[in-house]
Structure 1
Amino acid sequence: MIYSAFFFGLISSLHCVGMCGPIAMMLPLDRSSQAKKTAQLLLYHLGRLTAYSSLGLVFGLLGKGFYLAGMQQQLSVIVGVFMILIAVIPEKVFMQYNFSRPVYSIISKVKSGLGRQFKKKSNSALFLIGLLNGFLPCGLVYAALFGALAMQHAPLGIAYMALYGLGTIPMLSVAAYAGRFLSTSFRTKLQKVIPIATILIGTLFILRGMGLDIMYVSPGNMSLFVKGMPDCG
Structure 2
Amino acid sequence: MIETGFLVLFLSGLLGGGHCVGMCGGVAAALSLNMPKGARRLPLLLGYNAGRIGSYVAVGALLGALSQAGLSMAATRPWQITLYLLANTMILLLGLYLAGLSTLVTRVERLGRPLWARLQPLVARLLPIRSVPGALAAGAVWGWLPCGLVYSASLSALATGNWLKGAGIMLAFGLGTLPNLLAMGLFAETVRRYLQKRPVRLIAGLAVTGIGAVQIARALVALNAGM
Query: TM-score, with normalisation over the residues of structure 1?
Result: 0.77
The 1:166–1:95 alpha-carbon spacing in structure 2 relative to 1, beyond 3 Å, is same
Q: C-alpha separation between the residues in 2 aligned to 1:146 and 1:94?
A: 16
Post-superposition CA distance 1:126-146 (Å, at most 9, x none): 112211111010111111112
Give the number of the structure whose alpha-carbon radius of gyration is greater: 1
Map 1:109-124 → 2, pairs under 5 A: 109-124=118-133
The 1:17–1:74 alpha-carbon spacing in structure 2 relative to 1, beyond 3 Å, is closer
Partner of 2:117: 108
Contact 2:93–2:105 at 8 Å: present in 1 too? no
SS in 1 for 2:16: helix
Gaps of 5+ in 1: 213-217, 223-233
Post-superposition CA distance 1:150-188 (Å, at most 9, x none): 222111110011111111111111111111234547524
Alignment-mate amino acid for residue 83 of structure 2: L
Contact 2:156–2:169 at 8 Å: present in 1 too? yes
Post-superposition CA distance 1:38-59 (Å, at most 9, x none): 2221111110111100111122
The correspondence for 1:165, drawn from 161, 174, 180, is 174
Contact 1:87–1:198 at 8 Å: present in 2 too? yes
Gaps of 5+ in 2: none
The 1:205–1:125 alpha-carbon spacing in structure 2 relative to 1, beyond 3 Å, is same
Query: TM-score, with normalisation over the residues of structure 2?
Result: 0.78
Q: C-alpha separation between the residues in 2 aligned to 1:15 and 1:139?
A: 9
Q: C-alpha separation between the residues in 2 aligned to 1:26 and 1:75?
A: 35
Alignment-mate amino acid for residue 121 of structure 1: R
Q: C-alpha separation between the residues in 1 aligned to 2:20 and 2:180?
A: 8
Q: What is the RMSD of the two structures over their aligned residues, measured on CA atoms?
A: 2.8
Partner of 1:70: 77
Partner of 1:31: 37
Give the fraction of aligned pairs with identical amino acids, expressed as a percent: 26
Partner of 1:209: 219
After alignment, is 176-185 or 41-50 more displaced? 176-185
Contact 1:73–1:208 at 8 Å: present in 2 too? no
TM-fit CA distance, 1:148: 1.4
Q: C-alpha separation between the residues in 1 aligned to 2:19 and 2:160?
A: 24
The 1:19–1:38 alpha-carbon spacing in structure 2 relative to 1, beyond 3 Å, is same
Q: C-alpha separation between the residues in 1 aligned to 2:56 and 2:177?
A: 11
The correspondence for 1:99, drawn from 111, 118, 128, is 111
Post-superposition CA distance 1:64-84 (Å, at most 9, x none): 223532334343333333433
Q: C-alpha separation between the residues in 2 aligned to 1:211 and 1:48?
A: 35
Partner of 1:228: none
Q: C-alpha separation between the residues in 2 aligned to 1:76 and 1:97?
A: 19
TM-fit CA distance, 1:198: 3.1
The correspondence for 1:180, drawn from 189, 201, 218, is 189
